[in-house]
Amino acid sequence: MAENEQTAHQNVTSAPSGSAQRGMLIPLALTQFVASFAGSAMNVSINSISKDLHTDVHGVQTAITLFLLCMAALMIPGSKLTDIWGRKRCLIGGLSVYGAGAVIAALAPGLAALIVGYSAFEGVGSALMIPPIYILATIAFSDVRSRARAFGAISGAGGIGAAMGPLLGGLITTTISWRASFLLQAAIVAAIIFLTRRLTDPIAPDPTRRFDTVGGVLSAVGMFFVVIGILQAGTNGLLLAVFLALGAGFLLWFFLHVRSTERGGKEPLLSLSLFRSRISNLGLVTQNTQWLLMMGSMFTVSVFLQTVRHFSAIKTGVIFTAATVGVLLASVAQPRLAKQYEQRTLIRAGFVVAIAGVALLLALVKSSPHVWAFLPGLFVLGFGVGLMLTPSVNIVQSAFPEQKQGEISGLSRSISNLGSSLGTAMAGTILVSDLVSGNRSYVLAMIVLAAFALIGFAAALFLPAERQPKAPAERAATDAIEAAAEHA
């Protein structure tokens, strides 16, 4: 394994020029945008999809959750394949699968076909195309500040995609059809594939590297049972306990398998050394909880507006413009903020602001039936999440050398998407189990999400101060020492 990593490290080409870097960022940011857009655009089309496909809110929620879960479960295997097949090949292959899924979903005659196209094909495509985004950006932008700007553009595009999903999805659903939203995704994907034609892979792929199939199955099955168990929480307590126990059992089996594989001198799906970095572990917790809060809150507000307040798709989408503006402003401010404040400071501030947004959504919505009551809370929530998206990613990715970027990128994206799926599953379970209670189920769902945000804030409090960036020669020497120590 060490020889493979050393070979890959030696194959790294020189950093691209400034114009090449900017040209690389455009398709990478657009890829993250379309994946995040898909996760939230469905929220405002729940009623339309339910009626058209003869299903209910729970059926559409299941499709959304399975899409997010598929990404989370397959992100780690997808990242490992980037080392074997190459980052550009995985990016284009993932985009192609994603585009095919969007077309299938647009033509779906029923819920089953929607799940195949949206949840399965788009989920698998996302798991292949997202890890290369962060690997390529990490390698192309070597210093902390330029990397922060790159991650700011990419994470900002993801946040904007998630926040704009309800607006664009609502507009398209109302004026044309919810099916047209999937066709739009397919068109964007085709444009991204065209833009990536000149993109070069800075690290040569190594087809001789081993792929841990058993580890991939165990990790995916474990995550699947955990999320499916949460989906059953409002309907069957016994199934909840059984599925959570199965999920925990498979995940424990996965880690035991990884340890055994490493001790046998073989390359596992995910190296346990990734969990020895305290900074990275804390950063992963903040990533998980911030996406759990964002996607869970958006799903909660969307369902509440459509099922309790009986708002149309376009009216619901317009309300979410406030969150889009908040994320956009925070993303635009990221380069300047990165120069003035430490990343841990931005993450802490982001959680405080986001929790304040949840408080506003609870206080103002409860006290007023008017639509404006949602706007301040959504804006503040979006701004808070936008503040911490980039620094959380940067902290995790920057904690490891270049030869570890494939693994940590997959783990990072998997943890983030697991947070999204858990947020949607938990919020949806609370809402769907007692929709007739109206405000009560809405309040309970938001309180649960805020409680998880407090966990993320607590993790951010333990993040250490930033170290001064090392010179290239010093960094290369440190990487060599770490690789030798791991091999020993």
* Per-residue pLDDT tens over the stretch 471-485: 444 444 444 434 433
Low-confidence winner among 49-53, 212-216, 235-239, 349-353 (lowest mean pLDDT): 235-239
Give the residue-averaged pLDDT of 135-156.
Answer: 75
Which whole number is the average pLDDT over 363-385? 85
Distance CA 159, CA 144 (A): 21
Contacts of 208 (CB under 8 A, 6+ apart): 4
- In this structure, are residues 40 and 181 in contact, taking their beta carbons and an 8 Å threshold? no
Q: How much is the pLDDT for 249?
A: 95
The pLDDT value given to residue 6: 42
Output the pLDDT for position 187.
Answer: 95
Check pLDDT > 90 for residue 302: no
How confident is the model at residue 438, as a pLDDT?
Answer: 57
Largest CA distance in the chain: 65
pLDDT at residue 15 greater than cutoff 70:
no
pLDDT at 378 over 90: yes
* Cβ contact 236:45 at 8 Å: no
- Provide the pLDDT for residue 411: 84
pLDDT score for 447: 92
Q: What is the pLDDT of residue 245?
A: 93
Residue 53 has pLDDT above 50, yes or no: yes
Confidence grade of residue 19 (pLDDT, cut at 50, 70, 90): low
- The pTM is what? 0.76
Higher pLDDT, 146 or 303: 303
pLDDT (0 to 100) of residue 259: 92
Q: How many CB atoms sit inside 10 A of residue 100's CB?
A: 17
Q: Is the pLDDT of residue 459 over 90?
A: yes
Q: Would residue 204 be called left, alpha or beta, if left means φ above 0 and alpha means ψ between -120 and 50 degrees? A: beta
- Tally of CB atoms within 10 A around 325: 18
d(CA 410, CA 72): 9
Q: Is 43 in contact with 64 (CB distance < 8 Å)?
A: yes
> Is the distance from CB of 158 to CB of 36 less than 8 angstroms?
yes
Average pLDDT over residues 371-398: 88
CA dihedral angle for residue 39, residue 327, residue 378, residue 433, rounded to 10 degrees: 20
Res 105: pLDDT: 95
Give the per-residue pLDDT at 35: 85
Q: Please tell me the predicted confidence (pLDDT) of residue 111.
A: 94
Asked whether residue 251 carries a pLDDT value surpassing 50, the answer given is: yes
**Residues with Cβ within 8 Å of residue 174, at least 6 apart in sequence:** 312, 313, 314
Confidence at residue 351, expressed as pLDDT on a 0 to 100 scale = 97
Angle between helices 278-303 and 144-175 (to 10 degrees): 20
CB 112 within 8 A of CB 55: no
Q: Phi and psi at residue 443, in whole multiples of 5°?
A: -60, -45
Of the ranges 69-78, 96-105, 469-478, which one carries the lowest mean pLDDT score? 469-478
Q: What is the mean pLDDT of residues 247-261?
A: 93
Amino acid at the residue 179: R
As a whole number of angstroms, the distance between CA 101 and CA 63 comes to 13
Q: Is the pLDDT of residue 230 over 80?
A: no
Question: What one-character-per-residue DSSP string does 356-391 give?
Answer: HHHHHHHHHHHH--SGGGHHHHHHHHHHHHHHHHHH
Residue 487: per-residue pLDDT: 40
pLDDT of 188 reads 94
